[in-house]
Structure 1
Amino acid sequence: MLEYPLEGIRIVDFAWAWAGAQATSILALLGAEVIKIESMRRIDHSRVFSLTTGQWFDEPDSSVIFNDMNLGKMSANIDLSHPEGVDLVKKLVKISDVVVQNMRPGKIDGLGLGYDVLREIKPDIIMLSSSARGNTGPEREYIGYAPLFSAISGFAYISGYEDEDPVRLSGEIDLLSATSSAFAVLAALIHRQQTGEGQFIDLSSTEATSVFMGEVFMDYCMNGRIQTRHGNKDPFMAPHNVYRCKGEDKWVSIAVATDDEFKSLCQVIGHLEWATDERFADSFSRWHNQAELDKLIEIWTVNHTHTEVTQMLQEVGVAAAPSCNSEDIWNDPHLRDRGFWAEVDHPILGRKTVIDTVWKLSGTPLEVNRPAPLFGEHNQYVFGELLGLSDSEIEKLKKKKAIF
């Protein structure tokens, strides 16, 4: 049986939406026992809404996006607006290691489950609170999702083509916050292992996004320059773009960093004379004439498939890769050879293919071994086995609607 890095760690999970759910899913895939606390009063919208069709589901267990970003978790139904439901959570926290939540600042405190309360119950508890703008500051009450994070962090402003509007980014921005959250929890666990102390983690999703904009901020601080949108251009490399290829909506990405690489590109295309053309002879000249150069390159790429172009250029040391759609990724033999995909058995969806763990650890090999949970699937385990409630006590709590 595999031993996972976080085996023996229990996490009480109040998180939802992509940023929160993916963070605890990462920790679950690392071996933590993640118990997602859910309620019929405020059901996780990813359970009942399809991002693909824009439609609501009649039942909460068939959503593709929920089942993707909650792999490896358990689910227990507790009404946090009920005093006895709150008491159950406190008992669960007492035998847990980490609490993760991404409600608006102050909301979890209003439920009687703030950090000051929980550390009285479990002094070494680690609590991560993730929100749009953080738990302090004049905008702490702001609510928001990924499009807000991309806008206020500066990402949207620099994304898109020249002379066009900023491009709204969505789920991919949430993943930046999710990975930062998971990293912070791991750091706090190491600290607790060394000192015996728990702690409170205050994470702002916009700050977790802005941290990837360092070069843009430094350019402004040092040069007073505000970077804007520049499409697929690179500040230094040219050619550096995505080029149309043979076939419907097929493209290849090409990036050339040095004069030697450009010479190799010219040789493959069959126009070695470009390497000595004064318009393209060095990086500076190529950068200032890249619009013209891009047109010349695309005259060649449209006569080849994106995989053919990739192979020809990679063989001579030029960075190139196909722009893949979902079908390309699904059929990618390289990904299959590396075990990118895994299969899990879902009680309703059946045998389901999911993305396996992307970390290849030689000492602690990982694999997805549990699908996302059904709504309340692990009630008996949580209430009966972990909290020690009898069947009659569980039934009484159901009648009181403290649990479902």
Structure 2
Amino acid sequence: MENNPLPLKGIRVADFCWVYAGPYCGMLLGCLGAEVIKVEGHRRTDLLRHIVTWPLADPAPTPVPPNQGMAFNSLNMNKKSLTLDLTKPEGVAIAKKLVAVSDIVADNMRAGSMARMGMGYDELRKIKSDIIVLSLSSRGQQGPQKDYAGYASIHHAIGGGAYVTGYPDDHPCHNMGDVDLMNSNTAAFAIVAALYHREKTGEGQFIDCSQVEGVTSLIGELMLGYEMNGQIPERMGNAHPQYAPHNVYQCWGVDRWIALEVHSDEEFAVLAQVIGQPELAADARFADMASRKKNEAELDRIIEEWTRQRDRDWLANEFCRAGLAAAPSRNGEDIYADPHLRAREVFVTVDHPELGELELLGTPWKMSGDEVQLQHAPLLGEHNDYVLRELLGLSDAEVNDLRQKDVIL
């Protein structure tokens, strides 16, 4: 008998998600012990199977084989793969068989897409009364914009995040994949809550999760501010409504920056000592928080004049040793080399059948009990036989018939 099994061991997820937001949700559930079966068509695969996240040096785009997209391999670990053509009735019939032996069904398609295939919540709970269904659509299942498509930048814009992101004298800035991943975390949380509810009551759930509303939930204090005082929050760059200094400062070298923020007069006195200008703490322009905020531009100029002549990592060390909140702005190379992350074993080595060893980001948590053993993202159709024969009990003749009809790979 296992000691301290992973919390979702024994839970099965039928994962109809693709691109970013949905797949990462499924990966998180898989890392918690669930068996996640990714369902996709072999002629219309997950887009990320063919995408690399950096420009190649080739003069023309290089086709990426379906198992070698880097984003796909980062966001789909700990899953199995079943190929099904859901445009064919035979594919939908197999999908419903999978639902019958699953606990959770998840998709991030447009609102109503699953229902049009005969796989809406009302239909699925006839198959399994306590099924938990998550729909992670752009704008939810209800409302006048429910049929609209959307990706991360759209969700960030409509949700209000883009308007308050950027510099005061410039345009709104769109976030990209991080919006999707945030919504993935929200969706995974909702699923775990629904599982808890089912354990207590025996009832399934339909989770209508809007990615736009997921963005808006992150700026609740700004919405409350508008409701209370009628002021529309504007872009502030790296500044803060009250604190100063609060910015990202250029350091010596090319594109090297350090983030620094000061929250009290005492901290500012320490900063003034560190940069060799203790007299700034008594300067009427900077003697208290309100004065520093009023003269923020001049204060930023003084600080950056000093930081631009010094190494970023040396600065971070000096500031932190003095008890200040500071950190380097890091790129991918910095993160991979970070000794703290290495000590925490944030990166894991996964053996990929086609790409060999890949060093990828593991789970963003550490839990006591069984360790999460990360497995490579599934090859397209890698687990067709397991799902069709072992889980669903199809015969050789039935599997061969599906293959001849091009329903499966």
Q: Quick check: TM above 0.5? A: yes
1:124 aligns to what SS in structure 2? coil
Cα distance, 1:237 vs. partner?
A: 0.8
Q: State which of 112, 115, 118 in structure 2 corresponds to 1:109.
A: 115
Which deviations, in whole Å up to 9, do the C-alpha atoms of 1:295-331 show, x marking residues without a partner?
A: 1111211222111111111112110000111111111
> Is the 1:19–1:175 contact (alpha carbons within 8 Å) kept by the matching residues of 2?
yes
**Aligned equivalents of 2:286 and 2:370: distance in 1?**
48
Aligned residue runs from structure 1 range 21-60, under 5 A: 21-53=23-55, 55=61, 57-60=63-66
Question: RMSD between aligned alpha carbons?
Answer: 1.3
TM-score (norm 2): 0.96
AA partner of residue 22 (structure 1)? Y
Cα distance in 1 between the residues matched to 2:33 and 2:236:
42
Q: 2:396 aligns with which of 366, 381, 391?
A: 391
Cα contact 2:42–2:408 (8 A) shared by 1 = no
Question: What CA distance in whole angstroms lies between the structure 2 residues aligned with 1:16 and 1:197?
Answer: 27
In structure 2, which of residues 232, 238, 248 is the aligned counterpart of residue 232 of structure 1?
238
Per the alignment, do residues 348 and 253 of structure 1 end up closer, same or farther by CA in structure 2, a change over 3 Å counting?
A: same
Moved more, 167-176 or 252-261: 167-176
- Map residues 1-400 of structure 1 onto 2, 5 A cutoff: 3-53=5-55, 55=61, 57-362=63-368, 364-400=369-405
Asked if 1 retains the 8 angstrom alpha-carbon contact of 2:139 and 2:145, the reply is yes
Matches of 2:351 and 2:155 in 1, distance apart?
Answer: 35
Checking the alignment, whether the CA contact within 8 Å between 1:241 and 1:254 is kept in structure 2 is yes
CA 1:111–1:62 in structure 2 vs 1: closer, same or farther (change >3 Å)? same
- Identity over aligned residues, as a percent? 48
CA contact (8 A) 1:261 1:318 kept: yes
Which amino acid is 1:67 matched to?
Answer: N
How many angstroms apart in 2 are the aligned matches of 1:151 and 1:206?
Answer: 8
Letter in 1 for 2:254: E
CA apart distance, 1:365: 4.5
| 1:144 alignment partner AA | G
CA deviation map 1:326-353 (0-9, x unaligned): 1111110000001111111110111111
Task: Compute the displacement of 1:52 (Å).
Answer: 2.5
The CA distance in 2 between the partners of 1:212 and 1:346, in whole Å, is 36
CA distance in 2, matches of 1:58, 1:25: 22
CA–CA separation in structure 2 for the residues paired with 1:178 and 1:7 = 20
Number of residue pairs the alignment of both structures matches = 403
For 1:334, what is the secondary structure of its paired residue? Answer: helix
Tell me if the contact between 1:47 and 1:66 (Cα under 8 Å) persists in the aligned partners.
yes
Query: Alpha-carbon deviation of 1:402?
Result: 2.1
| Contact map agreement 1:79 1:85 (CA 8 A) in 2 | yes
Q: 1:188 corresponds to which letter in structure 2?
A: A
Write the distance in 1 (CA, Å) between the matches of 2:187 and 2:356: 31
Contact kept, 8 Å, 1:48 with 1:56, in 2: the verdict is no
Kept in 2, the 8 Å contact 1:57–1:63? The answer is: no
TM-score (norm 1): 0.97
2 CA distance for matches of 1:49 and 1:356?
Answer: 20
**Whole-Å separation in 2 of the counterparts to 1:387 and 1:365:** 29
**Cα distance in 2 for residues equivalent to 1:389 and 1:70:** 26
- Following TM superposition, by how much is the alpha carbon of 1:255 offset from its aligned partner in structure 2, in angstroms? 0.3
Contact 1:357 1:366 (C-alpha < 8 Å) held by counterparts: no
* SS of corresponding position for 1:157: coil
Gaps of 5+ in 1: none
Give per-residue Cα distances to partners, 1:332-386, cap 9 Å, x unaligned: 0000001111111110111111111121112x34434211000001001101111
